[in-house]
Amino acid sequence: MKLRLLVVGRGSKELADFEARFIERLKPFAQCSVIELPEGRGKQVSQRKQEEAKTIFKQAVKGFVIFDERGSLHDSKKWAAYIERMPADAQLDFVIGGADGLHDDVRAAAAACWSLSKLTLPHQLVRAVVLEQFYRAFTIIQGHPYHRV
């Protein structure tokens, strides 16, 4: 399986080691990569979102999932069930928007819209949480004791 996290903007230096640790831990289960996409440079929010949408559409495969505070909430077991339903050779793309959020066209094209919390979170933190949840999902599927409830 191939997991790609498409993220508008750069990651945090403070969270880089955390992200790298979970990308390494995912290797036995899936190939995982974080692809940083450029932030829009327009003067208006709508222009920036539109530029970012074009870049997202150039990268994301059909069936991508977006993260947004207005999306549906899923616990770790639901993440695991979603991943487990996918074919072993699937490429799953997950998209995190930039500071201004995602363009409505991206929202409309997404197969699903998930939320990590009712809180508004910085995209750098969302990256870290998503990578950890990918790992947690695979450990749930494997019956590994990492996931404790």
Mean pLDDT by 10 residues, the chain (149 residues): 96 94 96 96 96 98 94 95 95 95 97 93 92 97 83
Helix (H) and strand (E) counts in the chain = 5, 5
**Residue-level pLDDT at 121:** 87
Would the annotation count 76 as a binding residue? no
Sequence-distant (≥ 6) Cβ neighbours of residue 141 within 8 angstroms:
80, 83, 84
116 is in an annotated binding site: yes
Q: Distance between CA 117 and CA 71 in Å, rounded?
A: 9
| Alpha-carbon separation of residue 69 from 21, 59, 133 (angstroms) | 26, 22, 17
In angstroms, rounded to a whole number, what is the distance separating the alpha carbons of residues 39 and 137?
Answer: 29
What pLDDT is recorded for position 18? 96
139 assigned to a ligand binding site: no
| Contact between 2 and 92 (Cβ < 8 Å) | yes
Measured CA to CA, the distance from residue 123 to residue 2 in angstroms comes to 21
- SS3 at position 3: strand
pLDDT of res. 96: 97
Structural domains of the chain sorted by starting position, each given as residue range(s) with its CATH number in brackets: 2-142 (3.40.1280.10)
Predicted pLDDT of residue 149:
62
Phi, psi of 21 (to 5 degrees): -60, -40
Residue 77 assigned ligand-binding role: no
97 annotated binding-site participant: yes
**Cβ(79)–Cβ(115) under 8 Å?**
no
